[in-house]
């Protein structure tokens, strides 16, 4: 049985000089989602050479977007994805109640196919709880997701 943990990540240091977190070292949702991409020029340049800049990885880490990796989803201690890197897409999907980011989080939380619809609708109904303001951090949003899941009969087993 895989357990879901919220753990501080191994990778707290930013490897990318371009992505300076505007809100300090704990990048909130607002800071990421509603951030202008200060790194855009270097990003565009990277694509000229289909390049990778310094933060190339080989699949062993989750990447941090220049923020401390609060809200990393992990399986048995292995980092899975860094929530803050898909918070924009995730929040929109939760607001609507459907979408790829929502499915991704469901998969990361190991939610079985038959419970996905419940997961989608429970999160959808609790949008304002999970995202209480534009400045919520990825860590707090993820904690709220688990809290909301625990309160639901079908989903509580995944949030144990």
Partner 1 sequence: MHLIRCLFSLLLLSGLSVANALADTDSVNPYVESVKHKAAQLKLSEDDIWQRLLHYRQDYFSETGVSSYVDDKRFFYADDGHYNAESELQKTIDALFIKDDLGNEHAQCRFVYRYQWLSQKLELDPKKLPVTNCVDYIEWREQVNAHSVSLIFPATALNSPSSMFGHTLLRFDPKDIEGGSDWLSYALNFGANINNDDDSVSFAFRGLAGGYPGVYNMMRYFEKIKEYNRMENRDIWEYKLNYTPEEVDLILTHVWELKDINFDYYFFDENCAFRLLELLELVRPEVNLTARFKLDAIPTNTVRAVVEEGLVESTHFRPSELAELHARIDSLPKSIQRLGKELSNDIDVMQQPEFKALDQAQQGEVVQIAYSYLRYVQLQIPRDDEMAKRSYQLLLALNKLSSEKVVVERPAAPETGHKTITAGVSAGERNDDLFQQVNYRVTYHDLLDNEKGYLRGAQIILFNTEVRHYNDDGLKFNRFDLVDITSLSKRNMFLKPLSWKVQVGYERVYSRNDEVGVLQLNGGAGHSYEVTKNIEMFGLLTGRIEHNKRFNSILEPAIGAEAGMLYYSPIGTQKLDISGAQFLNDDYRMRAEFAQNINLGVDHALRLSLAQEWHNDDDFFDISLGYRYYF
What is the contact surface with partner 1 in residues (CB under 8 A)? 13, 15-18, 22, 30-31, 33-38, 40, 42-54, 56-60, 62-63, 78, 80-81, 85-86, 88-89, 91-92, 94-101, 103-104, 106-108, 113, 124, 127-128, 131, 133-134
Residue 155 C-beta: closest distance to partner 1, Å? 18
Of residues 103 and 154, the one with the C-beta less far from partner 1: 103
Biggest distance spanned by C-alpha atoms of the chain? 51
Of residues 123 and 155, the one with the C-beta less far from partner 1: 123
Separation in Å, CA 109 to CA 6, 59, 106, 146: 11, 19, 5, 10
Q: Are 44 and 102 in contact (CB under 8 A)?
A: no
Angle at 65 between CA 62 and CA 68, to 5 degrees: 80
Residue 50 C-beta: closest distance to partner 1, Å? 4
Residue 26 C-beta: closest distance to partner 1, Å? 15
d(CA 106, CA 154): 13
């Amino acid at each position: 049985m895989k357990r879901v943990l919220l753990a501080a990540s191994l990778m707290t240091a930013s490897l990318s000089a371009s992505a300076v977190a505007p809100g300090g070292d704990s990048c909130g949702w607002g800071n990421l989602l509603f951030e202008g991409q200060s790194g855009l020029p270097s990003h565009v340049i990277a694509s000229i050479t289909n390049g990778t800049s310094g933060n190339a990885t080989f699949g062993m880490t989750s990447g941090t977007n220049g923020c401390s990796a609060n809200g990393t989803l992990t399986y048995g201690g292995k980092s899975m994805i860094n929530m803050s890197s898909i918070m924009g897409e995730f929040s929109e999907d939760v607001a609507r109640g459907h979408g790829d980011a929502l499915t991704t989080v469901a998969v990361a939380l190991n939610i079985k196919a038959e419970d996905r619809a419940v997961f989608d609708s429970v999160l959808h109904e609790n949008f304002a709880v999970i995202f209480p303001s534009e400045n919520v951090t990825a860590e707090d949003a993820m904690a709220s997701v688990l809290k909301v899941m625990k309160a639901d009969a079908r989903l509580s087993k995944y949030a144990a």
